[in-house]
Amino acid sequence: MSPLLAERFRQIEALSLKSGNHEDFEHGMCVMEAVAYIAGEPWSDHPQCACPVLTAFLMAWNDGLPSDAERDRLLKPLIEQIVDTRSTKAVEERRSYMALDWLIRVHTPKWLDLVPTLAPHAKALRDLEEIVDLAGASAAGASVRAARDAARDAARAAAWAAAWDAAGDAAWAAAGDAAGDAARAAAWDAAGDAARDAAWAAAREFLKPTTEWLQASALDLVARMIRVQP
């Protein structure tokens, strides 16, 4: 890293990441604006050096977290890793389906676990084949729609806001960027509604262990997406 970029990184270390996008450095920065800044690019929350799928994931996660302290703890360590992750369209597509797979087979079942009557649906989602293409996304539709309907019947039992704090919004955004309309429909019909319906009523403190588990899982997902190469 050049002396200039090293100095920029030290500046970021002394600041807190903020929600939303910002006019310039003096007004604050989100995680992707920080990536552009240390990469020496023009001010932007869509740096050219970064994979668009990772950008979508991290922007949504950045804005979904409840505090600057949480953004600093979870996202600051990723800033340097995201620089130079832009790759081929094939890599972007693979990363997109990784995000969709995580949303359906990891994120949603973890919330369904909070409601004992939904355990069979959580298991059904976990037992799906890994989603690596449009055919897999479409095949998952029946299971995720069943989970959605069951969650509605279970009286909307955990907390939607906390669920997306755990990066579900990020996975949705990343999946939507590259997986195509059919995959978006499958994800929304399935995982989006199921997670929302299964997560409405419980207090944030009660959900903290689940949220923290999913945050760690989301960090692992980001690391795995970064490792995908042409």
Give tens-digit pLDDT for 189-223. 555 555 555 544 445 677 789 989 999 999 999 99
Report residue 161 as tokens: 């806001």
Give tens-digit pLDDT for 27-81. 889 999 999 999 989 999 999 999 999 999 999 999 999 899 999 999 999 999 9
Q: Do 103 and 63 sit in the same domain of this protein? A: no
Instruction: Decide: residue 134, CB within 10 A, 0-12 exposed, 13-18 middle, 19+ buried.
Output: middle
Q: How many CB atoms lie within 10 A of CB 25?
A: 15
Q: Do 77 and 95 sit in the same domain of this protein? A: no
* Predicted pLDDT of residue 222: 97
Q: Do 182 and 93 sit in the same domain of this protein? A: yes
Boundary of a domain, candidates 53, 82, 111: 82
* Predicted pLDDT of residue 173: 60
Q: Do 35 and 149 sit in the same domain of this protein? A: no
Q: Do 77 and 105 sit in the same domain of this protein? A: no
* Predicted pLDDT of residue 109: 92
Q: Do 73 and 140 sit in the same domain of this protein? A: no
CA 23 distance to own-chain centroid: 24
Q: Do 72 and 103 sit in the same domain of this protein? A: no
Dist. CA 56–CA 123, nearest whole Å:
28
Boundary of a domain, candidates 82, 97, 128: 82
The least confident of 39-48, 127-136, 171-180 is: 171-180
Average pLDDT of the chain is 82
Q: Do 110 and 170 sit in the same domain of this protein? A: yes
Q: Which domain holds residue 188?
A: 89-227
Q: Do 148 and 221 sit in the same domain of this protein? A: yes
Instruction: Give the DSSP letter string of 107-125.
Output: IHHHHHTTSGGGHHHHHHH
* Predicted pLDDT of residue 149: 83
Q: Do 45 and 157 sit in the same domain of this protein? A: no
Instruction: Specify whether the CB–CB gap between 63 and 20 falls below 8 A.
Output: yes
Q: Is 179 helix (H, G, I), strand (E, B) or coil?
A: coil
Q: Do 69 and 180 sit in the same domain of this protein? A: no
Q: Do 70 and 113 sit in the same domain of this protein? A: no
Rounded percentage of the chain residues whose pLDDT exceeds 90:
52
How many domains does one find in the chain? 2
Instruction: Specify whether the CB–CB gap between 59 and 31 falls below 8 A.
Output: yes
Boundary of a domain, candidates 82, 108, 143: 82
